């Protein structure tokens, strides 16, 4: 960042980025091939310092309907475009994101509170999924199946589905849209995006980029539609709308249950990416330096607000004290502060409700007999206004405690001793969530057990790498209360198409 950039206020930085994307401080929050909005105004304040960065005019019921009609109209033409031609549009989108990476990554930091490296990394994920989708556009395939009838051919093929509704959360305000929209677009679908009300401007910036790309490629920009609004005004309409055959929703388990219920009543499809309560097992043979670095990144990164955040750490009793000493030393060195400043490793929680939720969880788990051994404090002082900054926390606990089975979206790491690997795996799998998991071991038998049917019950299982993050080429998602949905790579594209 330049010296001038460092001296600018958060609002000034945001407004400078707005100008580059063609965003106004009072911005319409609906895109249906054109920008409009007649609903209530939504104020957006940065979690960095509480400053107002802008206002967004949310969708009215008429705005929502206009966006759905536009997306449906665009679909009728888009589905007829050969898939490699659709891939070319997505290739151009990826290139535009490369050019906008620095500004969009900074805007993610301003609006979501991520450190700059994480904001840039999230935009890189968008670029990567565009690259993946371009290749996919030439590989959408079916089957020829042997028929029992003479002189008869039986085929299985895949067709575009229609308008895909995308509901995203604040913690990955741009990547989740791209995972869905890039793949859906090459599959021949159009998309209608409802972003989190906590991160509307990053969504608007993405659609501004997509709009420009579509116009340059001479396709209907309503391929990528946007509706900013709350759950009752937009989310409920989207989930109950028969014009939207698939709703892909990322967020809390409570939200996912509601989406599944409403979409299921109309026999539509839902793709759910919900809560995670991710665990790491550190075995006696583990490389402790490697393990501690992974735990630190997994538990404190994004201020503990990733769905893949490491929340539970199972440590073998023979190395427990050594691991705890290393963790405490590492935690004491985590710089907490303005996420746009160089050297910061952990920024703020998203808002005061998140801070209060963290404090309630700590009170509750201590009441169950747990012991906070480091961190958890709300940081005070001028540089930590408006009170969204906390120290990442380490808690000694037991696997049978109620709070251990719940996801608290904050940097709380629970330490749990184990004696036998089978016991650690059992306790690891005992929680309702099943997203990401990991084991650190140099014992091949332990690694293979963890990856077997008797091992981790999560959608993602890692060996000697942490729970956070995922590669674009694999299908991302989890089991149990995580929802069972899969996005991004592998054969996740089939969710966005209909089989014939």
Report helix, strand and coil shares of the chain as percent, to nearest 5: 45, 20, 35
| CA angle 264–265–266, rounded 5-degree value | 90
Instruction: Specify the 3-state DSSP secondary structure of 482.
Output: coil
307 is catalytic: yes
Query: From CA 395, how far away is CA 83, in angstroms rounded?
Result: 51
Please identify which of the residues 92, 307, 393, 458 carries the catalytic annotation: 307
CA distance 60 to 55: 16
Partners of 452 in the β-ladder: none
For the record, the structure tokens of 458 come out as 């999560």
Taking each helix axis from N to C end, the angle separating 200-216 and 83-99, rounded to the nearest 10 degrees, works out to 130
* DSSP secondary structure letters along 279-316: EEEE-TTS-HHHHHHHHHHHHHGGGG-STT-EEEEEEE
**φ and ψ at 434, to 5 degrees?**
-155, 60
**Edge-to-edge strand ranges of the sheet holding 371-374:** 371-374, 393-396, 412-418, 310-316, 278-282, 436-440, 460-463
Catalytic residue among 122, 273, 407, 446: 273
Residue of 27, 46, 12, 128 whose CA lies nearest to 348: 46
β-partners of residue 480 are: 433
- Catalytic positions, please? 273, 307
């Amino acid at each position: 960042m330049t010296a001038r950039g460092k001296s600018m206020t958060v609002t000034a930085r945001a407004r400078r980025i707005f100008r580059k994307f063609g965003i106004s401080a009072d911005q319409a929050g609906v895109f249906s091939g054109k920008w409009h909005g007649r609903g209530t105004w939504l104020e957006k304040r940065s979690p960095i310092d509480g400053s107002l960065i802008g206002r967004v005019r949310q969708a009215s019921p008429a705005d929502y309907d206009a966006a759905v009609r536009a997306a449906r109209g665009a679909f009728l033409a888009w589905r007829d475009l050969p898939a490699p031609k659709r891939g070319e549009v997505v290739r151009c989108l990826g290139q535009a994101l490369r050019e906008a990476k620095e500004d969009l990554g900074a805007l993610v930091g301003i609006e979501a509170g991520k450190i700059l490296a994480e904001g840039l990394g999230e935009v890189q994920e968008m670029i990567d999924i565009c690259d993946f989708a371009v290749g996919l556009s030439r590989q959408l395939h079916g089957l020829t199946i042997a028929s029992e009838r003479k002189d008869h051919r039986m085929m299985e093929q895949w067709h575009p589905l229609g308008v895909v509704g995308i509901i995203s959360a604040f913690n990955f305000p741009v990547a989740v849209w791209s995972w869905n929209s890039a793949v859906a677009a090459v599959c021949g679908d159009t998309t209608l995006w409802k972003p989190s009300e906590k991160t509307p401007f990053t969504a608007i910036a993405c659609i501004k980029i997509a709009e420009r790309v579509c116009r340059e490629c001479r396709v209907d920009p309503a391929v990528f539609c946007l509706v900013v609004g709350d759950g009752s005004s937009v989310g409920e309409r989207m989930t109950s709308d028969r014009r939207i055959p698939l709703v892909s929703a990322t967020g809390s388990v409570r939200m996912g249950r509601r989406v599944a219920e409403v979409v299921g009543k109309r026999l539509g499809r839902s793709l759910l990416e919900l809560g995670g309560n991710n665990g790491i097992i550190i075995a006696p043979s583990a490389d402790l330096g490697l393990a501690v670095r992974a735990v630190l990144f997994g538990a404190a990164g994004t201020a503990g607000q990733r769905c893949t955040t490491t929340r539970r750490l199972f440590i073998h009793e023979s190395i427990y004290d050594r691991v705890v000493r290393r963790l405490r030393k590492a935690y004491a060195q985590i710089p907490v502060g303005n996420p746009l400043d160089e050297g910061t490793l952990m920024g703020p929680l998203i808002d005061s409700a998140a801070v209060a939720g963290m404090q309630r969880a700590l009170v509750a788990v201590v009441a169950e007999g747990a012991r906070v051994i480091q961190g958890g404090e709300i940081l005070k002082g001028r540089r930590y206004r408006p009170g969204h900054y906390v120290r990442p926390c380490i808690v000694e606990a037991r696997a049978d405690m109620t709070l251990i089975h719940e996801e608290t979206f904050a940097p709380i790491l629970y330490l749990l001793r184990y004696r036998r690997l089978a016991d650690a795996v059992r306790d690891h799998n005992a929680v309702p969530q099943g997203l990401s998991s990991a084991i650190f071991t140099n014992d091949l038998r332990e690694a293979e057990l963890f990856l077997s049917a008797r091992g981790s019950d999560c959608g993602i299982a890692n060996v000697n790498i942490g729970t956070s993050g995922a590669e674009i080429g694999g299908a991302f998602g989890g089991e149990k209360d995580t929802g069972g949905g899969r996005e991004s790579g592998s054969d996740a594209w089939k969710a966005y198409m209909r089989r014939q």
